[in-house]
Amino acid sequence: MLRRDRQIRTVIHQLADASLFAIAFWVAYALRANPEIITWLRLEPPSPFENFAWLYLVLIPATPLILESQGFYDHSPMCSRGAILWPLFKGCLLVTVGLMLTVYVFHLIVARAIFVSFGCIGFCLVYLKEEGIRLVLKSKMAQSQYRRRFILVGTEREIARMREELKEHTDESVEIVADLNLLETPVQQLVPMLHHYSVYGVIFSAKHTYFEQVEYVIRACELEGVEVWLVADFFATQISRTSFDELLDRPLLVFRTTPEASWQSVIKHVMDVVGAFILLIVFSPLFLLIAIVIKLTSPGPVFFKQQRSGQNGAPFTLYKFRTMVSNAEQFKHELEAMNEMSGPVFKVTNDPRITRMGKWLRRYSLDELPQLFNVLRGEMSLVGPRPLPVDEVKRFSDLAHRRRLSVKPGLTCLWQISGRNQIKDFKDWVRLDLEYIDNWSLWLDLKILFRTIPAVFAATGAK
């Protein structure tokens, strides 16, 4: 995992742990102040919580700092439980003792049972959080989203060394799916490998005598929108933004044409998950109504499923409400002459395969609602380039068009709100997608979402 990714992950864990210890302190007080416990153990009622609630000002910032001092945040998500328990135990002990000393210095009257309960509850909550993360990361869905596929490029010796070091550090986020030995295989074979394995990036480790091959790899990956992690010196690029990072304590230059990991990207992911969940709840009655109407007005399934190309070209199953006759795909080749979009994409305004209900659903983009499940699964985002069918992506004639696959596909995008019914050239579609990728920000996502609402109500729907 890159240093920037580690830093973001650490800060998220620190905020979560500080919140859990704050909850633990309140729960410890609530247990000690419980009338039944007081009566059962014949204890004196504690002072009102308001008298020492200000201790949160010390507890919340101090907790993550103490845990960090014990090396608690140095472990990987799938490390042994011993690597978690011992630093966590020491950290909880120091936090509890520190809180007791603070109370003593300020002459506060706090029941000793609160401190003991606080330490135990805090330890349990944080450990349960770690176990929860471990369970989530073991799921197939998390594995597909968390793990990043890479191709190793270099000499046989360099490839073997990198594999060994990655294995020693047990970095679960990096999965080496293939390698390319420069001494045995032409570097031109890299492009087909990028398509075949749907990789996130390429790790290039080679000596200076291979600079020509390095330049080819960087330029090929620029067109594809694939990251290059180069364990080498700086090289001039045409599109990529270059950032400096570390991998296994080695200096690393990253050439990327997509937005790098940042707090904005974290907020975008949270916004996707929370937004999709809320929208699914809000539109659940509409889901049921549409499903019933589709079933009553047209024979066939309610949902249409199709393989689409996701991030880096990885295929996934996209869900839509069915708007065409159930055997629509069988008649597609008969309508090729009616295609109104240049390039590999198939678009027809008055497609005879569309059902009467389907025309209404498409007019207001209601057929796209089931894709909220794809967003919730992490396969799509609320905002991003629209996902294309796998067979259409395979027909890309310009490799630069594949750079639109370098980010997660979305429910809406610049093309959706820029008069998509008037766009006839696929190059204009790609231009808008690349404009979004090159200028991405959280604010741009919000603007697109807000502009999508009037576009939907104006019925500028899909063809």
289 burial (CB, 10 Å; 0-12 / 13-18 / 19+) is exposed
Ranking 235-249, 330-344, 363-377, 416-430 by mean pLDDT, the lowest is 330-344
What is the model's pLDDT at position 272?
A: 94
Q: Residue 108 above 70 pLDDT? A: yes
Closest by CA position to 297, among listed 326, 319, 340, 258: 326
User: Which residue, 124, 114, 64, is CA-closest to 94?
Assistant: 64
Mean pLDDT of 30-40: 86
Cα 377 from Cα 462, distance rounded (Å): 24
What pLDDT, on the 0 to 100 scale, is given for residue 422? 67
**How does pLDDT run across 61-74, given as a tens digit for each residue?**
999 999 998 989 98
Is it the case that residue 362 has pLDDT exceeding 70? yes
Q: CATH says 147-256 is which class? A: alpha beta
The residues with which 174 forms a beta bridge, in sequence order, are 148
This prediction has a pTM of 0.75
SS3 109: coil
Q: How far is CA 156 from CA 76, 162, 212, 215, in A?
A: 28, 10, 18, 19
Whats the size of the chain, residue-wise? 463
Q: What's the whole-number mean pLDDT along residues 90-111?
A: 88
> Which tens digits make up the pLDDT trace of 147-205?
788 999 988 888 998 888 888 775 667 889 999 998 888 888 999 999 999 899 999 88
Helix (H) / strand (E) containing 58: helix 56-69
Three-state secondary structure readout of 233-283: CCCCCCCCEEEEEEECCEEEEEEECCCCCCHHHHHHHHHHHHHHHHHHHHC
Going by pLDDT thresholds of 50, 70 and 90, the confidence category of residue 376 is: very high
pLDDT of residue 122: 95
Amino acid 454: pLDDT: 82
Cα separation, 168 vs 177, in Å, equals 17
pLDDT at res. 150: 93
CA distance 357 to 419: 23
Return the pLDDT at 461. Answer: 47
Encoding tokens for residue 49?
Answer: 């919580």
pLDDT cut 70: percent of the chain above it? 92
Does 460 score more than 70 pLDDT?
no
Per-domain boundaries in the chain: 3-138, 147-256, 263-457
pLDDT at 283 exceeding the cut of 70: yes
Bigger pLDDT: 317 or 363? 317
368, 276 Cβ separation under 8 angstroms: no
Spatial CA neighbour of 381 closest among 457, 440, 454, 295: 440
At residue 291, does pLDDT exceed 90?
yes
Q: Identify the pLDDT of residue 290.
A: 93
Tokens of 412: 């809406």
Helix runs in 344-401, H state only: 356-363, 371-376, 390-394
- Rounded to an integer, the average pLDDT of 440-449 is 90
**Two structure tokens written together for 458:** 């104006």
Q: What is the pLDDT of residue 337?
A: 67
Predicted pLDDT at 240? 75
190-249 residue pLDDT tens: 999 999 998 999 998 876 667 788 888 888 998 889 999 888 655 666 777 777 788 877
308-331 pLDDT, tens digit per residue, is 999 999 999 999 999 888 777 766
